[in-house]
Structure 1
């Protein structure tokens, strides 16, 4: 058993840029792609993941010091360190039962596909650590391995159903057919959705207002490189940088905003042949059955609206960390909060004003949940030695994926008299059911419109 765990850890140590392409090459061969085509698509997908990761790290390296400078300028001291998602992943994999989550996710996915209960083949197996993370939280409140795996199994199912529900919308927004996002980051969309429905009733906000519309109104100032430069300079001014470093930050942001869409085109080139092969394979064996390939969020990274929101969230998190009563988390490693920006982009269909409002509403949730889960993650880190912490030192993440769902996984705390996580679980579950139903209605309307358009073209 230890040998199997070591093997899994060794494979996962490759990282998403290596691990996911390997999975996709294997999947391509299974669905009868020519070996040269499967290998070519897999390598290109690895290049796309690597490119997206490098550009994000490039941007993070420039923006994080600004947040740090803002924090130092205030002199505020908060007790919980922000280790970011990478530290949470390392701690999660240190859980003694982590190795069992890998076959569990594959088994549940195959079972639901065979039963026709999902259309998604989740190729994002590298992010199985997110289910381990959930199990760790459940263990912290129940000390039950069985309940930990039960709740993690529920998350696996919900990720597949969420992938199904979002596919049509994501296909239209990204332009990449046959692919969906199977990451739990999308779980936060159902929490933002009720607020967005209210904002849509405001005339000024109930219009398309993405970067394309912004470009029509202000011309060159909305071009990727120019807009990025302006945003970077504004952020440098907020961080009290000198003129040279303000201009340097502007160039970094402009560079990143220019490169993101270029990298996303690589995802499209890599995924198109794989998606077509999967669809052809399924049609031969299951008539009238669609199959989607589920991936992590980076394939959506070509949307400039996401990066506008990412930059705006940084000062939000810093300011909120100073003023929110009960928050003890100092945002740092997780200050590039894509777990908030991506759901806001999906829910609003890229409407920038609504995105920024939703980010302002959602940002405090990340700090409060990060504060709440710190004891569990810190305890596991100290028990396993995954992260070195001093006595009484706490670590967490200010950009935790699906924060409301994560907090809700503590629902068994009601046995000790704490009913708040249970209430949050009911609220999240209600929002998720209503939101996914709304997405299905939207899909039905979209299909009717496409059929009507096709009919009129024939006539």
Structure 2
């Protein structure tokens, strides 16, 4: 068994070595051919999508390269001294891919996806193989805490099904607000907060006074003219972040210009990606129309990075950066020192922003309790994540405690792990959360789908 897993792991590591920007065009090219797209058109579309992702990741890299050091400077200025250091999601993904569960998760996830599509239980065709590590992490955490490999695989399978269902649920609003027609976003680190965002938005709707406050890029631009354009908002937020980090004039202006550039360029990269994706999406629709006249469109599952082009998402993420540092400093019992993942708060909040239709004010309010939960969960998972890191001999883990602020603090994974640990409260919450999710779906259905109960 161990030799088989080792062989599979070798193949997986080789394939992953191509990187997401190479793997995704290959997968989409094959998918396009399956749905009868002409080879020349399929090739051009797949390459255009790949080029779009190169642009998105390059601009997103500018965002993280600027926000990361500024966030670390803020941490230094606050004098936070906490024992569990945040490695960030890139390190955690590398650790996860190096452990036994991960190689098996890729074929298992593909099989689950095919079965769910065949029986009509999902509309998401998840081509984002790289991000299957999110499912593998849930399984690995269960494996490490229970010692049972098969329970780990079961946990990975369960979170896969949950995420596909939630991605289907969010896709119609993503199409309308983010402009991502025919796309769903099955990324655990963001889709987990979709129902929380809907619930929080509904609660704010029913709080007198607060429900009258609306701040989004469109209203800001309308009110403030050129100063409200995404380019200017990014520059202003960058300058404020530089000031909070204690930068000198040169540093403040540099981060301001760079974040203004991110706000200006990133949506254009998303449009390039969508240009390449549309022929494939149209081919899928045509094929479905012929083979399954009564079935609605499929969605192509992509990395959450395609949603980061929204100015509201970037703005919310930047505002949350100093808030997260402050919360880590004041929360009693918190052991997590947020560092690497502070640059990725836009990923964390993206589905909350979607649930509020881009209302930055509401998104920040809803995100604060979620950040608090993430910090405490990341602290609770620090011992097992440290053990995982040491088992793959990850640098820096031998002599210190490590964790991951966002993915290590994800509440869906934490709940799933506690269920497999037979925690009584986690088990009791299964029907409770099930009922709450059903209720959220019912009361927000009109907002998400434009439907009422009579259209059920």
Q: TM-score, normalised by structure 2?
A: 0.92
- State whether residues 230 and 260 of structure 2, in contact with CA within 8 Å, keep that contact through their aligned partners in structure 1: yes
- State whether residues 214 and 362 of structure 2, in contact with CA within 8 Å, keep that contact through their aligned partners in structure 1: no
The aligned residue for residue 247 of structure 1 is 253
The aligned residue for residue 400 of structure 1 is 407
The aligned residue for residue 84 of structure 1 is 88
Aligned counterpart in structure 2 of residue 164 of structure 1, from 168, 172, 178: 168
How far apart, in 2, do the equivalents of 1:443 and 1:413 lie?
Answer: 32
The aligned residue for residue 261 of structure 1 is 267
How far apart, in 1, do the equivalents of 2:420 and 2:105 lie?
Answer: 23
**1:192 to partner: Cα distance:** 3.2
- State whether residues 80 and 328 of structure 1, in contact with CA within 8 Å, keep that contact through their aligned partners in structure 2: yes
- State whether residues 239 and 255 of structure 2, in contact with CA within 8 Å, keep that contact through their aligned partners in structure 1: yes
How far apart, in 2, do the equivalents of 1:193 and 1:352 lie?
Answer: 14
**1:328 to partner: Cα distance:** 1.0
Residues 369-408 of structure 1 mapped to structure 2, 5 A cutoff: 369-391=377-399, 393-400=400-407, 403-408=410-415
**1:281 to partner: Cα distance:** 1.4
How far apart, in 1, do the equivalents of 2:247 and 2:448 lie?
Answer: 47
How far apart, in 2, do the equivalents of 1:110 and 1:346 lie?
Answer: 27
The reply on whether 1:61 has 2:65 as its aligned counterpart is yes
Give the secondary structure class of the aligned counterpart of 2:300: strand
How far apart, in 1, do the equivalents of 2:415 and 2:66 lie?
Answer: 34
The aligned residue for residue 360 of structure 2 is 352
Question: Please, which moves more after superposition, 155-164 or 200-209?
Answer: 200-209
Q: TM-score, normalised by structure 1?
A: 0.91
Task: Give unmatched runs, 5+ long, in structure 1.
Answer: 451-459
- State whether residues 327 and 368 of structure 1, in contact with CA within 8 Å, keep that contact through their aligned partners in structure 2: yes
How many residues matched? 447
How far apart, in 2, do the equivalents of 1:18 and 1:214 lie?
Answer: 38
How far apart, in 2, do the equivalents of 1:359 and 1:130 lie?
Answer: 21
**1:77 to partner: Cα distance:** 1.2
- State whether residues 192 and 362 of structure 1, in contact with CA within 8 Å, keep that contact through their aligned partners in structure 2: no
The aligned residue for residue 21 of structure 2 is 17
| Change in 2 beyond 3 A, CA 1:125/1:402 | farther
How far apart, in 2, do the equivalents of 1:136 and 1:204 lie?
Answer: 42
How far apart, in 1, do the equivalents of 2:426 and 2:368 lie?
Answer: 23
Give the secondary structure class of the aligned counterpart of 2:336: coil
The aligned residue for residue 159 of structure 2 is 155
How far apart, in 1, do the equivalents of 2:156 and 2:443 lie?
Answer: 25
The reply on whether 1:220 has 2:226 as its aligned counterpart is yes
Task: Give unmatched runs, 5+ long, in structure 2.
Answer: none
How far apart, in 1, do the equivalents of 2:440 and 2:301 lie?
Answer: 20
The reply on whether 1:323 has 2:327 as its aligned counterpart is no
For residues 84-105 of structure 1, give each alpha carbon's deviation from its aligned partner in whole angstroms, at most 9, with x where no partner exists: 1111111111212321111111
**1:133 to partner: Cα distance:** 0.1
| Change in 2 beyond 3 A, CA 1:369/1:203 | same
**1:371 to partner: Cα distance:** 1.1
The aligned residue for residue 205 of structure 2 is 200
How far apart, in 1, do the equivalents of 2:120 and 2:379 lie?
Answer: 40
For residues 169-226 of structure 1, give each alpha carbon's deviation from its aligned partner in whole angstroms, at most 9, with x where no partner exists: 1111122322211222212122233222121224553576421111111111111221
How far apart, in 2, do the equivalents of 1:423 and 1:242 lie?
Answer: 53
The reply on whether 1:432 has 2:440 as its aligned counterpart is no
- State whether residues 197 and 356 of structure 2, in contact with CA within 8 Å, keep that contact through their aligned partners in structure 1: no
Give the secondary structure class of the aligned counterpart of 2:337: coil
For residues 256-295 of structure 1, give each alpha carbon's deviation from its aligned partner in whole angstroms, at most 9, with x where no partner exists: 1111111111122111111001111122211121221111
Which stretches of structure 1, 4 residues or more, deviate above 6 A after TM superposition?
Answer: 447-450
- State whether residues 17 and 46 of structure 1, in contact with CA within 8 Å, keep that contact through their aligned partners in structure 2: yes
C-alpha RMSD of the superposition: 2.3
**1:322 to partner: Cα distance:** 0.8
How far apart, in 1, do the equivalents of 2:435 and 2:408 lie?
Answer: 19
The aligned residue for residue 109 of structure 1 is 113
| Change in 2 beyond 3 A, CA 1:293/1:404 | same
- State whether residues 139 and 145 of structure 1, in contact with CA within 8 Å, keep that contact through their aligned partners in structure 2: yes
